[in-house]
């Protein structure tokens, strides 16, 4: 058994089966620890989602430590070497659902706050914003809590999200922005007929093919110093009756943009519409927009994170903007300089999710060093 307090708290959290949006008592456990330090607790729950807002101190700077207690389903039990909700130490790793995404991150944050508060007083506010709906629709989680907190005129200076961001070793990569995601379902309406009588039909595949070719060949933007160019990918293409002598009546394509801060969702939609209108007499398109891109401003938090990581690991982190989405997309637009710093992410959402035994404590030390640098002595 370990005496490492960060590992111990990580294990306690893993043993709570918190499948989205069920918090399964994780926030109670964290809240109890924070309350002992003098944090004021507030629950901003909505529709079965648990949102804990805990604050210590007052005024600026306001530093938010943010994360989620929910985990994705473990999948087939037989594919796991150990029970996903029984934290298990094996071969220098801690195994369990949420070990990396992101119960070790939460434990590292709580223990960092405990050590800092035990050591000294500070000026400003240290806050925790923890939700049980990040892996799901994420509508009633951080997004909802931020909307409520905004109405009080609160303006955060910094936010650290404890998502797993490292590629190979703790500290080798932190996330400072994310691409936006915009998708569409396009339906082209033609007229069914016999292949021998094309003049009596209208082939939607023939109409759609040049459209897709043009969209694929389009350079949407050039990217910038932090983002690669916007990418366009067709994920589904469907048409045909199965018969080789029938011109089909309809064709469908589903496509997705991962777009950078050089483009906007409305701009991309307008450019696609221009192409469609030029080629297609009859079509329907349904758009879905699941995330704005953001790039955090480069300020004191990135500087402090770089310095803290160098001290704790002797690595210089890559400033990354790739990967999927996270709740940082709600915190950065609120005005906080926002970074995501967490353990190695190669096992997240997979069977046998794990974290290196030494990483939760080292991550906690990184967080503590950042707090040390940005929360000034009174
Ligand atoms: Zn996560």
Domain residue ranges of the chain, discontinuous segments joined by +: 5-178+293-374, 180-291
Q: How far does the centroid of ligand 1 lie from the alpha carbon of residue 269, in Å? A: 29
Q: How far does the centroid of ligand 1 lie from the alpha carbon of residue 240, in Å? A: 40
For the record, the structure tokens of 18 come out as 């918190």
- The pLDDT score that the predictor gives to residue 2 is 56
Kindly state the helix (H) or strand (E) to which residue 116 belongs, with its residue range.
helix 104-119
CA gap 123, 107 in Å, rounded: 24
- The pLDDT score that the predictor gives to residue 375 is 97
Which fold is adopted by the domain 180-291?
Alpha-Beta Plaits (3.30.70)
Class of domain 5-178+293-374: alpha beta
Q: Which residues are catalytic?
A: 70, 134
Extract the residue ranges of the chain whose pLDDT is less than 50. Answer: none
pTM of the model: 0.85
Note whether 249 and 188 are within 8 A (CB).
no
CA gap 336, 102 in Å, rounded: 21
Q: How far does the centroid of ligand 1 lie from the alpha carbon of residue 105, in Å? A: 9
Note whether 264 and 255 are within 8 A (CB).
no
Q: How far does the centroid of ligand 1 lie from the alpha carbon of residue 360, in Å? A: 15
Q: Is the dihedral of CA 334, 339, 343, 346 positive or negative?
A: positive
Q: How far does the centroid of ligand 1 lie from the alpha carbon of residue 164, in Å? A: 7
Kindly state the helix (H) or strand (E) to which residue 143 belongs, with its residue range.
helix 142-150
Q: How far does the centroid of ligand 1 lie from the alpha carbon of residue 270, in Å? A: 33
- The pLDDT score that the predictor gives to residue 290 is 82
DSSP 270-332: HHHHHHHHHH-SSEEEEEEEEE--EE---SHHHHHHHHHHHHHHS---EEE--SS--THHHHT
Q: Judge if 5-178+293-374 and 180-291 fold alike in CATH terms.
A: no
- The pLDDT score that the predictor gives to residue 294 is 87
Collapsing DSSP to helix, strand or coil, 161 comes out as strand
Q: How far does the centroid of ligand 1 lie from the alpha carbon of residue 196, in Å? A: 55
Q: How far does the centroid of ligand 1 lie from the alpha carbon of residue 209, in Å? A: 38
Q: How far does the centroid of ligand 1 lie from the alpha carbon of residue 222, in Å? A: 30
Note whether 363 and 341 are within 8 A (CB).
yes
- The pLDDT score that the predictor gives to residue 323 is 80
């Amino acid at each position: 058994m370990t005496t490492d307090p960060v590992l111990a708290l990580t294990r306690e959290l893993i043993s709570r089966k918190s499948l989205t949006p069920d918090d399964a008592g994780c926030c109670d456990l964290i809240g109890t620890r924070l309350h002992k330090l003098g944090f004021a607790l507030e629950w901003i729950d909505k529709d079965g989602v648990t949102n804990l807002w805990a604050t210590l101190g007052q005024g600026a700077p306001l530093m938010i430590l943010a994360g989620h207690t929910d985990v994705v389903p473990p999948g087939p039990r037989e594919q796991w070497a150990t029970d996903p909700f029984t934290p298990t130490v094996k071969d220098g790793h801690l195994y369990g659902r949420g070990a990396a995404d992101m119960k070790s991150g939460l434990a590292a944050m709580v223990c960092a706050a405990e050590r800092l508060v035990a050591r000294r007083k500070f000026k400003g506010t240290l806050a925790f914003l923890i939700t049980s709906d990040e892996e799901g629709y994420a509508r009633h989680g951080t997004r909802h809590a931020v909307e409520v907190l905004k109405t009080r005129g609160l303006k955060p200076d910094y936010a650290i999200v404890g998502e797993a961001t490292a590629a190979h070793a703790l500290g080798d990569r932190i996330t400072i922005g994310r691409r936006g995601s915009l998708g569409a379902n396009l339906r082209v309406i033609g007229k069914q007929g016999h292949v021998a009588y094309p003049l009596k039909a209208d082939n939607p595949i023939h109409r759609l093919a040049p459209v897709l070719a043009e969209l694929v060949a389009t350079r949407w933007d050039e990217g910038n110093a932090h983002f690669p160019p916007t990418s366009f990918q067709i994920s589904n293409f469907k048409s045909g009756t199965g018969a080789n002598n029938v011109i089909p009546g309809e064709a469908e394509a589903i496509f997705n943009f991962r777009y950078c801060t050089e483009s906007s969702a409305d701009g991309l939609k307008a450019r696609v519409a221009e192409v469609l209108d030029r080629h297609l007499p009859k079509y329907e398109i349904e758009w879905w927009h699941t995330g704005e891109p953001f790039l955090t401003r480069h300020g004191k938090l990135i500087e402090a994170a770089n310095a803290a990581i160098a001290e704790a690991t002797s690595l210089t982190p890559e400033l990354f903007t790739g990967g999927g989405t996270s709740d940082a997309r709600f915190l950065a637009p609120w005005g906080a300089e926002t970074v995501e710093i967490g353990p190695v992410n190669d096992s997240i959402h997979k069977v046998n999710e794990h974290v290196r035994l030494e990483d939760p404590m080292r991550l906690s030390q990184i967080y503590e060093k950042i707090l040390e640098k940005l929360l000034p002595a009174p």
